[in-house]
């Protein structure tokens, strides 16, 4: 099951990468709601750079799920750990967003899917 979930997350990340890079204005208008009136191009550049990393992680997740199935659970653990460390870093930096960032609800689901998969597959090899 962990392998299938990692494959699914790979597809999700590929979709996020495409949206963040090729459909960036739609993604901003629909999910992020960034105020582009100040440094708008810089904000879009950062959103695009994030999309590039999504393309990479999505591809790696799919590759692992197909060629190194035994790494699926450890990778899910790495995802959870990385998100937690990232959250701590954001708290430490004192960053508080002004935009809606509706994608955060999607990412909460992503995080919970990893957590529940690990919880319900702990005896899976």
What tokens does 11 get? 């597809």
What pLDDT score does 63 carry? 98
Given this model, what pLDDT does residue 57 score?
96
Average pLDDT, consecutive stretches of 10 residues, N- to C-terminus, the chain (125 residues): 95 95 93 88 92 96 96 94 92 86 83 90 71
Among 64, 90, 83, CA closest to 75? 64
* Structure token digits, residue 37: 């009136």
The CA distance from 99 to 96, in Å, is 9
pLDDT at position 103 is: 79
Q: Kindly provide the residue ranges of all beta strands, DSSP E only, lying in 4-125, ordered along the sequence.
A: none
User: Domain spans of the chain?
Assistant: 2-120
Quick one: pLDDT at residue 125? 59
Of residues 114, 107, 56, the one with CA closest to residue 86: 107
- The CB-side HSE value for 110 (13 A sphere, CA atoms) comes to 20
**What pLDDT was estimated at residue 124?**
64
Task: Write down the residue that tokens 């959250």 correspond to.
Answer: 87
- pTM higher than the cut 0.85: yes
């Amino acid at each position: 099951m962990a392998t299938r979930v990692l494959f699914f997350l790979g597809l999700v990340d590929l979709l996020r990468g495409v949206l963040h890079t090729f459909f960036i204005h739609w993604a901003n208008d629909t999910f992020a709601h960034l105020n582009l009136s100040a440094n708008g191009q810089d904000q879009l550049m950062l959103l695009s750079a994030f999309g590039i990393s999504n393309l990479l992680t999505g591809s790696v997740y799919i590759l692992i799920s197909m060629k190194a199935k035994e790494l699926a659970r450890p990778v899910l653990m790495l995802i959870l750990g990385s998100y937690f460390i990232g959250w701590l870093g954001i708290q430490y930096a004192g960053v508080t967003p002004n935009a809606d960032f509706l994608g955060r609800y999607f990412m909460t689901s992503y995080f919970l899917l990893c957590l529940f998969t690990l919880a319900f597959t702990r005896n899976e090899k």
